[in-house]
Structure 1
Amino acid sequence: MIHMKYYFDVQNEVACLMLSSMSLELQRDLEKYKAYDMIQKLKTMLEEQAKQELFETVKAFHACKQEDRQLELGVSLILNSLNKDYDQFVQNYNMHSMGKSIVELHAMLKLHVKGIPKKAKTPIVLAIREGKIHKDKKKPKGANGKDKENNKLAYAPKPKIPPPPKRDNLLKDSVWHHCKEVGH
């Protein structure tokens, strides 16, 4: 009997210690349980909570991964749309800068643009007039159309040569090489 009373006292003491470490709400829910039953009930409750937390964590992880995929897709679209002036930039980005946000990529592109040498303006169009090379300047025509004389071409167009008449018999109509006579 003493042994049983000791066991009961220890069990009550453990239950009291457990309840004292809990919130008031949990104390109200678990005060009617013995220490072992209290542990089982807590285990069941915490397993449900752990499952819910795991679900929420996995859900947040997948949402984060989805954002990463969208970010990677956006960056990829931007990099693939750049012209050949950015080939070196794209190569460097792919080797060193993975995982940058679109804002960071934009800032990097702005810095790169400053380093690209300026292209020359559109080349000057040259025209040949009367045997001389002149820069093509648009001049307004005079009231009488006097500028027509200045725009003459330096070469004459080829005359149209009519094709030779069709021959029925090539041997009879041909000029012979040795004797220079037509037909034989």
Structure 2
Amino acid sequence: MTSNAIQSIVLKSERKLHHLENPLPEASPETANATVHNAYTKQYNQQLEVACLMLASMTYELQRNLMDYNAYDMIEELKTMFQQQAEQELFETVKAFHACKHELGQPVSQYVLKMKGYLDQLECLGYAMPPVFGVHLILTSLSKDYDGFVMNYNMHSMGKTIPELHAMLKQAEKGLPKKTPAVLTIKEGKIQKRKVQAGSGKAKGKSKQAYTPKKKIPPPAKKEHPAKDMSCHHCGQIGHWR
């Protein structure tokens, strides 16, 4: 949790968060009665407490520049100093949010939590989305494995929150058919892709062997006496050789 989030929680619990939204009024005149003076003094002290809490979470450079500011003026100065940085952060967050897609085989819980993180970041930057809009953005970026789930969700107008949708998607993930992995085999010197049946451990195909080498034909045996079956070139008789 960031220091800004902790500050917001502390100020909200002590009912002092409004000091960041409302400037400190002008000091009461000397002619004002005691009630007016006491009200101003109380608000001034609360602004001072909030300012000290903010300064305690800053770097030394920021503390030195904002030491004399009250809470409201301090937050306005910080907005001016970091407005350009905040706009750049907003741009990067929106870009990453719209590029986030649920990939085939990716755990659905991982995807939903990532999308939820972008929505939370946009809220911190002052651009909170309505919950129903965030739910539909998550649904539209799911992989095609969840087309049936999305159709059923829209038909029944379920209207769930993001945590509820998260739980439903995790349950739906358990019912998805398991993918059969593809394996590479070698047949007649060529690489082929075939699917493996779940639980069989054997690949489909006519050939049981992954690789069958071609048989070599042996050369004919040499004859021991070549002249026995041949005729003599001189006299023409068989079995005689001059």
TM-score range, shorter chain: 0.3 to 0.5
Question: Larger C-alpha radius of gyration, 1 or 2?
Answer: 1
Q: Counting helix residues as a fraction of each chain, which structure ranks higher? A: 1
Q: Give the TM-score normalised by the residue count of structure 2.
A: 0.28
